[in-house]
Chain A
Amino acid sequence: MKSLKVLNHRLSDSSNQLAILEDDGLHRHASFKARLEALGEFPLRANGVEILQINIGKMCNQVCKHCHVDAGPDRKEIMTIETMRLCLNTLANSAIKTVDLTGGAPEMNPNFRWFVTEIKKLDKHIIVRCNLTIILANKKYHDLPEFFRQNQLEVVSSLPSFSKDRTDRQRGDGVFEDSIKALQMLNEVGYGISKNELQLNLVYNPAGAFLPPSQQALEAEYKQALLKEFGISFNNLYAITNMPISRYLDYLISTGNYDKYMEKLVSAFNPSAVKNVMCRNTISVSWDGFLYDCDFNQMLELPVNTPHTLHLKDFNLSALSTREIVIKQHCYGCTAGAGSSCGGEVTVLS
Chain B
Amino acid sequence: MSDHYYNADDLAKFGNIAEYQKEMSDKFFSYYGEVFKDGHLTAKEKSLIALAVAHAVQCPYCIDAYSSDAYEKGYSEQQMMEAVHVAAAIKGGAVLVHGVQMMNKVKEIGM
Residues in A lying within 8 Å of B, measured CB to CB: 161, 163, 165-166, 206, 208, 210-214, 217-218, 221
Contact = CB atoms under 8 A, between A and B. Distances in A.
Interface of A is mostly: loop
25 contacts: A161-B74, A163-B76, A165-B76, A166-B76, A206-B72, A208-B71, A208-B72, A210-B68, A210-B71, A210-B72, A211-B72, A212-B72, A213-B44, A213-B72, A213-B73, A213-B74, A214-B43, A217-B38, A217-B42, A217-B43, A217-B44, A217-B73, A218-B74, A221-B44, A221-B74
A250 B71 CA distance: 22
Contacts of A218: 74
A210 B47 CA distance: 16
A196 B19 CA distance: 53
A206 B69 CA distance: 12
Contacts of A214: 43
Contacts of A210: 68, 71-72
Nearest to A213: B73
Contacts of B72: 206, 208, 210-213
Given A165-B76, A217-B38, 20 more contacts: A161-B74, A166-B76, A206-B72, A208-B71, A210-B68, A210-B71, A210-B72, A211-B72, A212-B72, A213-B44, A213-B72, A213-B73, A213-B74, A214-B43, A217-B42, A217-B43, A217-B44, A217-B73, A221-B44, A221-B74
A126 to B, nearest CB: 31
A229 to B, nearest CB: 14
A221 B45 CA distance: 12
Contacts, number: 25
Contacts of B43: 214, 217
Nearest to A165: B76
Contacts of A211: 72
Contacts of A208: 71-72
A218 B73 CA distance: 8
Interface in B73-106: 73-74, 76
A255 to B, nearest CB: 14
A217 B74 CA distance: 11
Nearest to B73: A213
Contacts of B73: 213, 217
B89 to A, nearest CB: 25
Which residue among B38, B43, B72 has the maximum number of chain A CB atoms within 10 Å of its CB?
A: B72
A330 B90 CA distance: 45
B12 to A, nearest CB: 8
A75 B1 CA distance: 54
Nearest to A161: B74
B74 to A, nearest CB: 7
Interface in B32-87: 38, 42-44, 68, 71-74, 76
A221 B73 CA distance: 11
B29 to A, nearest CB: 16
Nearest to A211: B72
Contacts of B42: 217
A166 B73 CA distance: 13
